[in-house]
Amino acid sequence: MGIIPIPLIIWLIEDLLYLIIFPGLVTILVIVIVIIWLERKIAAKVQMRFGPLWVSKKIGGALQSLADLLRYSFQEVIIPEKADKLAFILAPGLMFAFATIALIFIPVGPYYSVLFPSYYTILFSLALIIITPIFAITVGWASDNKFSFIGALREGFLLISYEVPFLLSVVSMIIIFRTYDYISAVQSQLSFLPGIILNPLAALTMLIVMIRTTGRFPFDITEADSELVLGLYTEYSALFFGVGMATPYVELYNFSLIFSLLFLGGWWPFTLNVMNPIYGLILPGIIVVIKAFIVMAILVFLRAVYPRYRLDQAVRSGWSYVLLLSVLSVILSVGEVVFLR
């Protein structure tokens, strides 16, 4: 060929890399499908059931989530007569979109610059993650269904009680690393200790908030299928329902990436600092995603063990234990910065 200049080819390949692999739509799809299957399988094993099996019996029903996706795509779309139609249709999509866009600001390797080299990636990703529950409340409002509405109210209560500890736990890590950027946060962990050792209280708070925000057990309160039919998504069907169901898993992936970057040392065993797409993005990225996946697997395992908290119990522990933990974690961080460095 020789007509296309080589830099352009590299540039194109890099773009494709970003689009497909990190943060990558394909990676998200695969992760979400695998984690849903894993969650159902783990819960089934512990609860003496088989779980998904009959779609692709040889590999333990691993294609079940894909089959579900196909089914949702071709199902009949039912929009309730009294629903606020525009909001009803848009809200799940927007929720999914914002959860996905937040991924862009979570770098998985030192050589990562999708939009621009940013010194504020932590702030951007947090801002986008915090927007998503607003659409959850919109969903509840637009459905014009009492169960959805109660689900939305519960979401609002929990949102307010757990957002403060969440932000405080991230703030305490920002204080320790003295940066708003994931890449330099990871680099300061590589040269010292991983964040979970520096501030275990913040890590614990973050874990609890992750469970709550993504609606895993025991904080499955907004969906509560034994009380609220399906909470927010009672009126949804077909692809809208599928998107709504997948969003918490994308959020879970978001949070787990943030957790592994801030607390588990990011791409820790891999400390080679070479700025090219293979050594600066793919290899560290794989390590970060594996760490995030392990965190996700532990969190979905909770479904098999826990019953559901009542709303008042969850709100109370949010404003007491979890808030206390997060305030202590900030004090711990300040103490470390003052006395250790």
Partner 1 sequence: MSEVRKPRDPVTGHVKALAKGFKYLVEPNRMTLDYPAETMKLPPNYRGFFTVDDKKCIGCSMCEMVCPPEAITMVPRIIGEGGKTIPAPEGEKEAKGPKRTKRPVVNWGKCIFCYFCVDVCPVDAFIPTQVHDLAFEKDSEYRPSYEEYLKPPEEPYKNAKKVVSKADLKRGVGYDPAP
Instruction: Report in angstroms how near the CB of residue 270 gets to partner 1 at its nearest.
Output: 29
Q: Which is nearer to partner 1, 54 or 339 (CB)?
A: 54
Q: Which is nearer to partner 1, 138 or 205 (CB)?
A: 205
45-67 CB burial, b ≥16 within 10 A, e <16: eeeeeebbeeeeeeeebbbbbbe
Q: What gap in Å lies between CA 214 and CA 248, rounded to an integer?
A: 5
Instruction: Report in angstroms how near the CB of residue 54 gets to partner 1 at its nearest.
Output: 6
Q: Name which position in 157, 180, 301, 319 contacts partner 1 (CB under 8 A).
A: 301
Q: Which is nearer to partner 1, 77 or 274 (CB)?
A: 77
The pair of three-digit structure tokens given for residue 167, joined into one six-digit string: 């932000």
The type of residue at 112 is Y
The residue range among 82-90, 112-120, 227-235, 304-312 that interacts with partner 1, by the rule CB under 8 A, is 304-312
Q: What gap in Å lies between CA 112 and CA 220, rounded to an integer?
A: 35
Q: Which is nearer to partner 1, 264 or 322 (CB)?
A: 322
The residue range among 6-14, 42-50, 157-165, 280-288 that interacts with partner 1, by the rule CB under 8 A, is 42-50
Look at residue 126 and give its three-state secondary structure. helix
Q: For residue 212, what are the contacts with CB-CB under 8 A and spacing of at least 6?
A: 158, 162, 219, 314, 318
Instruction: Report in angstroms how near the CB of residue 278 gets to partner 1 at its nearest.
Output: 36
Instruction: Report in angstroms how near the CB of residue 42 gets to partner 1 at its nearest.
Output: 6
Count Cβ atoms below 10 Å from residue 167 Cβ, excluding itself: 15
Q: Name which position in 31, 38, 42, 150 contacts partner 1 (CB under 8 A).
A: 42
Residues 66-85 that bind partner 1 (CB under 8 A): 76, 78
Instruction: Report in angstroms how near the CB of residue 47 gets to partner 1 at its nearest.
Output: 8
Q: Name which position in 316, 331, 334, 335 contacts partner 1 (CB under 8 A).
A: 316
Task: Tell whether residue 321 is a contact of partner 1 (CB under 8 A).
Answer: yes
Kindly calculate the radius of gyration of the chain based on its CA atoms and give it in whole angstroms: 21
DSSP state of 273: -
Q: What gap in Å lies between CA 127 and CA 20, rounded to an integer?
A: 24
CA angle 64, 48, 56 (to 5 degrees): 20
Q: Which is nearer to partner 1, 18 or 72 (CB)?
A: 72
Q: Which is nearer to partner 1, 192 or 301 (CB)?
A: 301
Q: For residue 117, what are the contacts with CB-CB under 8 A and spacing of at least 6?
A: none
Instruction: Report in angstroms how near the CB of residue 48 gets to partner 1 at its nearest.
Output: 5
Q: What gap in Å lies between CA 146 and CA 140, rounded to an integer?
A: 9
Residues 43-62 that bind partner 1 (CB under 8 A): 45-50, 54
Contact letters (x/-) for partner 1, 245-284, by CB under 8 A?
----------------------------------------
The type of residue at 11 is W
Q: What gap in Å lies between CA 39 and CA 302, rounded to an integer?
A: 9
The pair of three-digit structure tokens given for residue 217, joined into one six-digit string: 């057990």
* Helix and strand totals (H; E) in the chain: 14, 0
Q: Which is nearer to partner 1, 52 or 110 (CB)?
A: 52
Q: Which is nearer to partner 1, 46 or 160 (CB)?
A: 46
DSSP state of 321: I
Q: Please give the size of the binding site for partner 1, defined by CB under 8 A.
A: 16
Binding footprint of partner 1 on the chain (CB under 8 A): 42, 45-50, 54, 76, 78, 301, 304-306, 316, 321
